[in-house]
Amino acid sequence: MGDRNGRRISELVKKSGNNQCADCGYDNPEWASFNIGVFVCTTCATWHRSLGTHVSKVKSLKLDRWDDEQVEGMELIGNVKAKEKYEAHRPACYRVPRHGDPQVLLEQWIRAKYEREEFIHVDKQTYVRNHIEGILMKKTSNDNKYYPRKFEIADSVLKYYGHNSKEPKASIPIANVNVCLAPIKMKHDTGMQLTYLSDGSTRHIYVYHESGETIIHWYNAIRNIKLNLLMVAYPSVSAEEVIPYLTNDFAAEGWLSKTGPREGDAYRKRWFTLDDRKLMYHDSPLDAYPKGEIFLGHKDNNYSVKEGVPRGHKEQDFPFSLYTPTRNFVLSAPTSEDRIRWVAAVEAVLERPLRPQDNQMAVNLVRKRPGKFSLDIFSIG
Ligand SMILES: [Zn+2]
């Protein structure tokens, strides 16, 4: 009996739809929730188990025994039908996580689907609103302390307030905001970074909240406003086409060393962040402002990246060089793997065609803050 059911379940998981995790798309699921009727990967199975058996009953496809009724249930439902039910009214702005994305995204996606049933009951989608306010823990710009601060989204503008203050400390048009989850850098599971242009240079804000649900609520609320703005700005474009541009995860981030522009200049350690076409460097990972920003144009406009240093420059560790029309940057990665990762990430950007909003970013970056800021810019418009 057990063997026969074991064979049935291992045939069932090969079927199209079942052969990728119902929650993150990862190949070859090894677990299933037999009351929900979905096949899931090992990571998602862990989050299912954390929901409790009143929500999700999880079994291993290979290690557990399956009885007739459970196998029949899986045959009847499966990943395709379960998605039709549990994602029936998923709003377009909601970020669907993929394998390897930050755990808070994956956890809240699974809780939203099966525990809170947010995509069955539209009234539970509190992030699809035009006015939102609440308290987030915000890092001060000059030290590593976090304080509760009121944040508000109204009329497509994000505001935050100082302690006991009626006037906002900043009013930031959501169109200019990028938001990404930064749990590792911030050493907080729900750490989130907001990045925006202010007076021609980039500003970073770091927030977290004890509740993962709250952080993902803000994350998707910002995506929702950005989606609405883009749909108004580009009425002929479908929601599906603009979804990939709502928020950018950083393509690469980490410590590199950088020399000055002259031969013989010493290497200095900097925290580098590659955000879309903008390569920023900072003194430390949680700085409020980058020390410098480099716009990455297209390779046809004399941008390139290569391993090694230009003739006459000092070598250190695993060097590579970024060539731009106005200046060359000599950088050095701490390991060979890091160098491969950075060169590939920068190359991918240089090969990507420029979009209209990239021209706008290049123009905005020209207005620099004197003294504190070095900038490389090439006119592309
Ligand atoms: Zn998964």
- CATH classification (class only), 126-243: mainly beta
Q: Measured between alpha carbons, how far is 312 from 59 in angstroms, rounded to an integer? A: 62
The alpha carbon of 203 and the centre of ligand 1 are apart by a number of angstroms equal to: 34
The alpha carbon of 110 and the centre of ligand 1 are apart by a number of angstroms equal to: 10
The alpha carbon of 365 and the centre of ligand 1 are apart by a number of angstroms equal to: 39
Q: Measured between alpha carbons, how far is 346 from 274 in angstroms, rounded to an integer? A: 8
DSSP state, residue 112: I
Q: How confident is the model at residue 141 (pLDDT cuts 50, 70, 90)?
A: confident
Distance linking the first and last C-alpha atoms of the chain: 70
What superfamily does domain 2-98 belong to in CATH?
A: Arf GTPase activating protein (1.10.220.150)
Six token digits for residue 187: 């050493």
Among 246, 247, 219, 256, CA closest to 109:
219
The alpha carbon of 69 and the centre of ligand 1 are apart by a number of angstroms equal to: 24
Contacting residues for 165 by C-beta, under 8 A, at least 6 apart: none
Right CATH number for 252-376 from 2.60.120.10, 3.10.129.10, 2.30.29.30, 2.60.40.10?
2.30.29.30
The alpha carbon of 234 and the centre of ligand 1 are apart by a number of angstroms equal to: 34
- Range list of β-strands (E), 116-236: 132-139, 146-154, 157-161, 168-173, 177-181, 192-198, 201-208
The alpha carbon of 87 and the centre of ligand 1 are apart by a number of angstroms equal to: 15
Domain segments of the chain as ranges = 2-98, 126-243, 252-376
| Residue 301 C-alpha from the chain's centroid | 28
Lowest mean pLDDT among 18-22, 245-249, 332-336, 345-349: 245-249
The alpha carbon of 295 and the centre of ligand 1 are apart by a number of angstroms equal to: 36
The alpha carbon of 356 and the centre of ligand 1 are apart by a number of angstroms equal to: 35
The alpha carbon of 262 and the centre of ligand 1 are apart by a number of angstroms equal to: 49
Among 150, 191, 182, 184, CA closest to 167:
150
The alpha carbon of 47 and the centre of ligand 1 are apart by a number of angstroms equal to: 9
pLDDT at 126: 93
The alpha carbon of 31 and the centre of ligand 1 are apart by a number of angstroms equal to: 10
Six token digits for residue 144: 């590593």
What stretches of 117-255 show up as alpha helix (H) in DSSP? 183-186, 212-233, 239-242
pLDDT at 157: 97
Q: How confident is the model at residue 371 (pLDDT cuts 50, 70, 90)?
A: very low
126-243 and 252-376 share one CATH topology?
yes
Phi, then psi, of 305 in degrees rounded to 5: -135, 135
The model's pLDDT over 50-82, given as tens digits with 9 standing for 90+, comes to 999 999 999 999 999 999 999 999 999 999 999
Q: What is the mean pLDDT of residues 128-136?
A: 94
The alpha carbon of 32 and the centre of ligand 1 are apart by a number of angstroms equal to: 11
The model's pLDDT over 263-314, given as tens digits with 9 standing for 90+, comes to 888 999 999 999 999 999 999 999 999 999 999 999 999 999 999 998 888 8
* High-pLDDT (> 90) share of the chain, %: 80
| Residue 7 C-alpha from the chain's centroid | 39
pLDDT at 130: 87
pLDDT at 34: 98
